[in-house]
A and B are shown apart, each in its own frame.
Chain A
């Protein structure tokens, strides 16, 4: 190289030139020289036991580190994958059980209807179906409104994914929270809705809209945005009254102040699914034998009706504790 010329302009680069020009361990050359001076060939045999042992050692080192250094990423993600798999399995199991309950309930209903008609108590049968409708155990279809509520369009600076949620200050103002849904749903009840579901979850008298951290739970099941609220009611008055009452004005202020999206549309046919997991909480035995087929008084509440009949009276959604 030209660095070897007189004056050595690259004196400051000696370290690098040394490394580039003579990367081989000088020990090899020295040892070869020693061996040659004592009359042996310059190179030793490649089959000495030490060499083989060291070669095996190096191979083991490479293999072991390949495994060990890949492990940390899999170790953390393995736990996460495991958890996700368990959650999904549990959720699938719950869904299967819900479907089973659904089919069993329809069986029970047909059997009930058959038994009641056999005893020619049509009054009880119609009373039962009316109460079921109000308790929310059966799916209902009818005219109503579909209200879609969604978070505001994302702002410019999203939170870094690894940021500690405790240090992130200021809640995201554009997010729909459980309280918003509570107020909107109560507004819909107020406007005369007869049955409401959010994202396919029927709001019965025992379903609460709650928040758990950032998630919104309806009846202890988490929702994902957008939040689609199906409400059945008089198509003429429901939308108008909702727009007038506190729920509607609350939604309006959310829209104008926080850019939360809320879109209401009237439909001639809205499907609100039933809540199949309502269980019998309170049953009173019929004290006296019902003689009149039109017995609809409170003491003669049929044992099979689910949930108290106050479902119709207190049409407000629970607030979170």
Chain B
């Protein structure tokens, strides 16, 4: 419950404080969002499975964001940024959907 509250607090802070995102980091934001969502749904599923571990969650979130950002950066340098972004989105998207399906099974038993 407290992490959910923290999520809401952070969301409100991001929306109302208007933090200035440096222009150089803006291309990585969409990928970072997808990676963060993947970590959040993975953590949620782990909670429902009864095997949640905060350290794993934090490390998975950070590594997801960093690696996704790095792949996009590398793609930009090589001139295939959009293709690599698509690849990251596909992989993380599939994971998000599978995790959500598992969460759904836990919550609704369906």
Q: Which residues of A contact B (CB under 8 A)?
A: 19-20, 23-25, 27-29, 31-32, 35, 42-48, 50-69
Contact = CB atoms under 8 A, between A and B. Distances in A.
B32 A56 contact: no
Contacts of B77: none
A55 B7 contact: yes
Contacts of A56: 6-7, 9-10, 13
A23 B95 contact: yes
B54 A61 contact: no
A42 B54 CA distance: 12
6 contacts: A27-B53, A62-B10, A62-B36, A63-B11, A66-B14, A67-B14
Given A19-B91, A44-B55, 5 more contacts: A51-B54, A58-B7, A60-B13, A62-B14, A65-B33
A55 B10 contact: yes
B67 interface: no
Contacts of A64: 14, 19, 21, 29
A25 B49 CA distance: 12
Contacts of A45: 54
B30 A69 contact: yes
B1 interface: yes
B89 interface: no
Interface residues on chain B, size class: 35 or more
Interface in B31-57: 32-33, 36, 39-40, 42, 45-47, 49-57
B51 A43 contact: yes
B18 to A, nearest CB: 6
A13 to B, nearest CB: 13
Interface string B56-76: 111111000000000000000
Contacts, number: 148
A29 B51 CA distance: 6
Contact of A59 (B11, B50, B56, B60): B11
A32 B54 contact: no
B29 A68 contact: yes
Contacts of B29: 64-65, 68-69
A139 B6 CA distance: 72
A25 B36 CA distance: 14
Contacts of B85: none
B98 A20 contact: yes
Contacts of B107: none
B10 A58 contact: yes
Nearest to A48: B54
B110 interface: no
Question: Which among B33, B47, B51 has the greatest number of chain A C-beta atoms within 10 A?
Answer: B51
Contacts of A51: 2-3, 6, 54, 57-58
Contacts of B18: 67
A10 B12 CA distance: 47
Contact of A54 (B14, B21, B61, B99): B61
A221 B49 CA distance: 72
A250 B33 CA distance: 64
B8 A59 contact: yes
B14 A50 contact: no
Contacts of B49: 24, 28
Contact of B56 (A31, A62, A67, A69): A31
A61 B52 contact: no
A64 B9 CA distance: 13
